[in-house]
Chain A
């Protein structure tokens, strides 16, 4: 069975500090990994996916198959980054379901 673990329920940093949101997964095949974000009073939306290898709003995430991790990083946090972040996994193939982690609430203090 596939599983996504986000060990930190809450993460608080100061503006300008680096931030890393941890995500570990359990899956025997080659997964598709995603980060979703939910800002206050907004709908859940895709932030980035590993296959794109792109930086969105200054965030990057690298898939480490050896450590089965997909941590989300940003070198300098901004107050507008405060939100709920969910890591998600798809097993691919004909299975289009996503398995979500429990989420990490990031608060960036001024």
Chain B
């Protein structure tokens, strides 16, 4: 099946630091989604991206749809303790199944 490479696998940062994570693929995507999973809960949609080059913000979170359409980036500025969780990228492959393909997640730990 289609693969999404998400990195890093985990991050340990201090409160106040900025965070960057990304997803890459060998396939072209027409949609990129970023989800956050809080401990003990299901993933919740943070940001949805629909066209190449698109840059979208949600509070301190900013995500971009890569211009090659094969990657996407998520940045978190000025991290706070409640940012802890697992962040997943997901995408819809162009010309492929309608179903989403998920990355394996980035586990974020924020030290106060």
A binds B: no
**B residues in contact (CB < 8 Å) with A:** none
Residues of A within 8 A of B (CB): none
